């Protein structure tokens, strides 16, 4: 049994973890970030991912705190690590068909898959592959894996065990506290040779032994990694135009696990007639469900204090529940932080016709961070990162 990494699902805990990590975000992080020395030795990484994924703390807060202590050149690797999530989200936002393709393939594969025993062994950590089994159990028990271990795990899943990549991506999305549709789906696609077409990631015993401090040196790993193939990646679509909520518009605030910090999405003096906070991100098992539910309650408490309105937590997105909540507040507008491509966006899209029929507008307001960075995600990360210093230097 692994000792669980402690992720307290509150904004205060995320800020405390940020302040603890900031001194190590420069050269120390750059030199040591790739090492996975086990669940009890995580001081070389930030452990901020679950907080950033749900925006209990924001990317801007994290980067600003780090750059207040370190120069950009000293902290560039960490800043880039934060921006990878932003990049993936922007890339997928312009190619939503890739998310739909993943869902369709996952469901088709799951319905006709005849390797249930092999799949169960992989998910339960009983394949007999050193390291891989440990990571499977660590993921299920703690909701966390070191980024390097995620790459090794995905490579072994696809090329050694020859299991469908979509089922591996689904396994991660259900168990990672920081799992999100863009980062998770596109990272698995990258390992498989689908994202950067023809370029795969091959896990090797030597690399695993080196970066785990000799803890693991698995035998029998695939010696080659032939890229998977699929239909061509669609061209980038225009991003949705930003929408503003009128300064005098009366609205009900909807907060989702995509952004648990609406205090910095809407104007400081904004007041809402009420707030509802979603406690489910559309996919997840323990400890994901418990983390999101507690984070939602933390958010609801903050909403009441910040916006001066009653707030309640709801278990799922239901059009009738949203419409009734708006009517109870005597408003015809529901405002929320923009929901990027993924499960929650799919649920809101499904609810939209019912809301429109009830005369209720759903207004999704873009966070300035996304509005500035996402347009630069048209190509690969190398091109994207060239824009990072410029955008960080802008006032927004």
Q: What is the pLDDT of residue 284?
A: 87
Q: How confident is the model at residue 4 (pLDDT cuts 50, 70, 90)?
A: low
pLDDT digits (tens, 9 = 90+) for 313-332: 999 999 999 999 999 999 99
Q: Tell me how far apart the alpha carbons of residues 376 and 372 are, in angstroms, rounded to a whole number.
A: 8
* 231 occurs within a structural domain: no
Q: Tell me how far apart the alpha carbons of residues 350 and 343 are, in angstroms, rounded to a whole number.
A: 11
Q: Are residues 88 and 15 in the same domain?
A: yes
CB neighbour list of residue 68: distance below 8 Å, 6 or more residues apart: 22
Mean pLDDT, residues 238-252 taken together: 91
* 278 occurs within a structural domain: yes
Residue that the structure tokens 């801007």 belong to: 60
Q: Is 146 exposed, middle or buried (0-12, 13-18, 19+ CB in 10 A)?
A: buried
Look at residues 180, 211, 242 and tell me which one is the last residue of a structural domain: 211
* 348 occurs within a structural domain: yes
pLDDT digits (tens, 9 = 90+) for 75-109: 999 999 999 999 999 999 999 999 999 999 999 99
Pairing of strands 252-255, 361-365: unpaired
Q: Are residues 330 and 259 in the same domain?
A: yes
DSSP letters of 197-208?
TT------HHHH
SS (H, E, C) 287-328: CHHHHHHHHHHHHHHHHHHHHCCCEEEECCCCHHHHHHHHHH
Q: Are residues 128 and 187 in the same domain?
A: yes
CB neighbour list of residue 77: distance below 8 Å, 6 or more residues apart: 29, 30, 33
Look at residues 153, 180, 211 and tell me which one is the last residue of a structural domain: 211
DSSP letters of 25-94?
TTHHHHHHTT----TT--TTS---HHHHHTTSS-HHHHHHHHHTTS-HHHHHHHHHHHHHHHHHHHHHHT
Q: Which is nearest to 317 in space by CA: 258, 230, 365?
A: 258
Q: Are residues 114 and 25 in the same domain?
A: no
pLDDT digits (tens, 9 = 90+) for 34-79: 999 999 999 999 999 999 999 999 999 999 999 999 999 999 999 9
The percent of the chain in helix, strand and coil, each rounded to the nearest 5, is 50, 5, 40
* 223 occurs within a structural domain: no
Q: Are residues 261 and 343 in the same domain?
A: yes
Name the average pLDDT for the chain: 97
Q: What is the CATH number of the domain that holds 16?
A: 1.25.40
| 5, pLDDT greater than 70 | no
pLDDT digits (tens, 9 = 90+) for 178-212: 999 999 999 999 999 999 999 999 999 999 999 99
Q: Are residues 125 and 180 in the same domain?
A: yes
Q: How confident is the model at residue 136 (pLDDT cuts 50, 70, 90)?
A: very high
Q: Are residues 204 and 258 in the same domain?
A: no
* 35 occurs within a structural domain: yes
Q: Tell me how far apart the alpha carbons of residues 377 and 85 are, in angstroms, rounded to a whole number.
A: 11
The total domain count for the chain is 3
* 225 occurs within a structural domain: no
* Percent of the chain with pLDDT strictly greater than 70: 99
Q: Is 313 exposed, middle or buried (0-12, 13-18, 19+ CB in 10 A)?
A: middle
| 3, pLDDT greater than 70 | no
Q: What is the pLDDT of residue 283?
A: 84
Q: Tell me how far apart the alpha carbons of residues 383 and 90 are, in angstroms, rounded to a whole number.
A: 13
Q: Are residues 386 and 330 in the same domain?
A: no
| 1, pLDDT greater than 70 | no
Q: Are residues 281 and 328 in the same domain?
A: yes
Residue 335 DSSP label: E
* Percent of the chain with pLDDT strictly greater than 90: 94
Residues 276/253, Cβ–Cβ less than 8 Å: yes
Q: What is the CATH number of the domain that holds 322?
A: 3.40.50.620
| 242, pLDDT greater than 90 | no
Q: What range defines the domain where residue 15 resides?
A: 11-93+374-393
Q: Are residues 106 and 88 in the same domain?
A: no
Q: What is the CA radius of gyration of the chain?
A: 21
Look at residues 178, 211, 244 and tell me which one is the last residue of a structural domain: 211
CB neighbour list of residue 213: distance below 8 Å, 6 or more residues apart: 35, 37
- The pTM of the full predicted model, rounded to 2 decimals, is 0.97
Determine which helix (DSSP H) or strand (DSSP E) holds 7, and give its type and residue range: none
Q: Are residues 61 and 75 in the same domain?
A: yes
Q: Are residues 327 and 383 in the same domain?
A: no
Q: Tell me how far apart the alpha carbons of residues 325 and 329 are, in angstroms, rounded to a whole number.
A: 6
- Specify the length of the chain in residues: 396
* 127 occurs within a structural domain: yes
Q: What is the CATH number of the domain that holds 204?
A: 1.10.579.10
Q: Tell me how far apart the alpha carbons of residues 345 and 17 are, in angstroms, rounded to a whole number.
A: 29
Q: What is the pLDDT of residue 232?
A: 97
Mean pLDDT, residues 3-32 taken together: 93
* 221 occurs within a structural domain: no
């Amino acid at each position: 049994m692994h000792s669980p990494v402690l992720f307290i699902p509150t904004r205060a805990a995320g800020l405390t973890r940020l302040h603890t990590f900031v001194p190590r975000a420069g050269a120390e992080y750059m030199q040591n970030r790739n090492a996975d020395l086990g669940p009890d030795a995580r001081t070389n990484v930030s452990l901020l991912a679950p907080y950033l994924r749900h925006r209990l703390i924001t990317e801007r807060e994290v980067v600003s705190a780090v750059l207040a202590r370190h120069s950009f050149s000293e902290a560039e690797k960490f800043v880039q690590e934060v921006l990878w999530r932003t990049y993936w989200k922007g890339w997928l936002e312009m190619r939503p068909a890739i998310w739909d393709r993943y869902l369709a393939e996952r469901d088709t594969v799951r319905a006709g898959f005849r390797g249930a025993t092999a799949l169960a062994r992989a998910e339960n950590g009983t394949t007999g592959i050193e390291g891989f089994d440990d990571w499977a159990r660590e993921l299920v028990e703690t909701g966390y894996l070191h980024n390097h271990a995620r790459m090794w795990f995905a490579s072994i899943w696809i090329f050694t065990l020859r299991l469908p990549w979509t089922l591996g991506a689904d396994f991660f999305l259900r168990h990672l506290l920081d799992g999100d549709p863009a980062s998770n789906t596109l990272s698995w696609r990258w390992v498989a040779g689908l994202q950067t077409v023809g370029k795969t990631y091959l896990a090797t015993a030597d690399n695993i032994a080196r970066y785990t401090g000799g803890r693991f040196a698995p035998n029998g790993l695939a010696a080659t990694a032939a890229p998977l193939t699929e239909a061509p990646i669609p061209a980038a679509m225009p991003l949705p135009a930003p929408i503003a909520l009128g300064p005098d518009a009366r609205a009900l605030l909807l907060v989702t696990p995509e952004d648990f910090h609406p205090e910095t999405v809407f104007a400081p003096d904004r007041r809402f007639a009420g707030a509802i906070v979603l406690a489910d991100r559309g996919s997840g098992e323990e400890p994901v469900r418990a983390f999101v539910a507690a984070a939602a309650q933390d958010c609801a408490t903050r909403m009441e204090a910040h916006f001066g309105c009653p707030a309640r937590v709801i278990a799922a997105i239901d059009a009738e529940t949203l419409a009734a909540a708006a009517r109870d507040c005597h408003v015809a507008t529901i405002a929320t932080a923009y929901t990027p491509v993924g499960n929650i966006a799919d649920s809101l899209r499904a609810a939209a016709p019912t809301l429109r029929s009830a005369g209720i507008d759903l207004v999704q307001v873009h966070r300035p961070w996304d509005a500035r960075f996402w347009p630069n995600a048209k190509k690969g990360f190398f091109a994207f990162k060239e824009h990072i210093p410029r955008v960080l230097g802008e006032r927004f």
